[in-house]
Amino acid sequence: MKKRLIGLTIAECELYAEEIGEKKYRGRQLYKWIYAKKAASFAAMTDLAATVRDKLNETAELGHLQVAEIDGRSASGSVKYLFRLPDGRHIESVYIPDDSRKTLCISSQVGCALNCQFCATARLGLQRHLSVGEIVGQVLTIMQLGEEISNIVFMGMGEPFANYENVIRAAQLLSDDNGMAIGARRIVISTCGLVDKIIRYADEGHKFRLAISLNSPFQEQRVQLMPVSRKWDVDTLCEAVKYYAKKSRKVPTIEYVLIAGVNDSREHAAALKKIVRSMPCKVNLIPYNTTGALFARPSTQQIETFVRWLLPLKAGLSVRWSKGDDAAAACGQLAGKKQERME
C-alpha cells in the first residue's frame, strides 16, 4: 500500500525522504509543497527532480480525501462536504463563510461514543478515530477545491478529546507557520467535557482555543442529556474549566444548545448565568438544529427572551443563528443518512 503523506510532520517528511534514498532537505521541500503550497499532485512539485517525483509516485500518495457528496450552498452560503474514507466509512465537514471569517467545521471521529441524546452523530455510535491525515485532509481537500479557509472548529462529528493525540497533532499541523499557518487562535477545539483531558490540555499549554458544551446548568438534567456528566458532574466540569482559564490565561467558550421546553426556561437562564459569572468565559448559544422527533428548536422569540434573561453578563455572548434546514445544520446528519442507505 502506498504511504499517505498528508498528516506527516516536517520531521516525518524528512525521515520519509531518507527512506526513499533522498536527502533530508527533500523532505522539507515535500512538506512545503503539501501544506504551504497545497500541491494537488507530485507532478506539481516543480523543484523536485523528475527522478524524485517518480519515486514518490511509486511509493506514496498525497492522501486527499475522496468527496462523496457536496450538499449545495445554502442561503447562508454554507456547504456540507461528505467524504468517503478508504475503509468505506463516511465523515463530514461544513464550510461556513461569513463576512469576516471563512470557517471550516471538521470531524475528529467516525461517529461518537458519548451518546448525547440530542446529537445526530451519537446515533452512529463510535466507529473509529480519525488519523491525523484524515483530520488535516478535510481541510486540505476543501482548500484544493478552491475554498479559502481562515478558521477551524472541531465541532463536526466526534469528540475531539476522545481522540486527543491525533487532534492535537492535527491542530499543530494546521497552525504550523512553515505549513498551513492557520493561527492557533483561529482554531477552536470543542469538548463535551472530558475533564481529565481538559486538565491535560491546560497543563500542556496549547494555544488553540477551547470550547465546552455545557447544555444544561443542572446536574440531574445534564446526565439525562449528556451521559458523560455521570462521570464528571457539572461542578467538577466547572472546576476544570476554571483551572484551564487560570492556567492558560485564555477565555474558554461555554456552548449551550437551546432546545425548546428542555433547557430554555427562566430557571435555566438564571442557573446558567450564575455559572458563567463564576468564571472567565464567553457564552455561545446554539439554537438546536432539529435532527429527530424528540427535540425541537425554540422559537426566535423564545431565544431572544432567553438572551434577555441572561443579560447583563460580563462575559461575551453570541447566538449562532442558522436556519434549521441550512447545510450547516447538525453535523452527523449527512453521514447518518449515508449509513442508513448503505445498511
Sequence-ordered list of residues with C-beta below 8 angstroms from that of 109, at least 6 positions apart, any chain: 126, 127, 128, 129, 130, 157, 158, 159, 162, 163
> How far is the CA of 124 from the CAs of 103, 163, 343, in angstroms?
25, 17, 12
Q: Considering the complex, what minimum distance in angstroms separates the CB of residue 149 from ligand SAH? A: 18
Select from 50-58, 87-95, 197-205, 282-290 the region that touches ligand SAH (CB under 6 A).
282-290
Interface with ligand SAH, residue 109, by CB under 6 A: no
Q: Which range of residues in 21-29, 38-46, 187-195, 243-251 is near ligand SAH by CB under 6 A?
A: 187-195
- Considering the complex, what minimum distance in angstroms separates the CB of residue 43 from ligand SAH? 37
Q: How far is the CB of 87 from ligand SAH (least distance, A)?
A: 22
Out of 14, 22, 92, 255, pick the active-site residue: 92
Nearer to ligand SAH, 234 or 257 (CB): 257
- Name which position in 215, 248, 253, 263 contacts ligand SAH (CB under 6 A): 215
Choice from 6, 192, 198, 202 touching ligand SAH (CB under 6 A): 192
Q: How far is the CB of 142 from ligand SAH (least distance, A)?
A: 18
Cα separation, 234 vs 92, whole angstroms: 30
Q: Are strands 151-154 and 187-191 parallel, antiparallel or unpaired?
A: parallel
* Residue in 119, 192, 281, 331 annotated catalytic: 331
Task: Rule CB under 6 A: say whether 159 interacts with ligand SAH.
Answer: yes
- Closest approach of ligand SAH to the CB of residue 170, in Å: 14
The site that binds ligand SAH (CB under 6 A) totals a number of residues, namely 17
Asked if 213 is part of the footprint of ligand SAH (rule: CB under 6 A), the reply reads: yes
Footprint of ligand SAH on residues 235-274 (CB under 6 A)? 255, 257
> Is 331 among the residues known to form the active site?
yes
Using the rule CB under 6 A, is 92 a contact of ligand SAH? Answer: no
Q: Is 330 in the site for ligand SAH (CB under 6 A)?
A: yes
Our finding on whether 286 is near ligand SAH (CB under 6 A) is yes
Site residues for ligand SAH per CB under 6 A: 118-120, 155, 159, 190-192, 213, 215, 255, 257, 286, 288-289, 291, 330
Question: Catalytic residue positions?
Answer: 92, 331
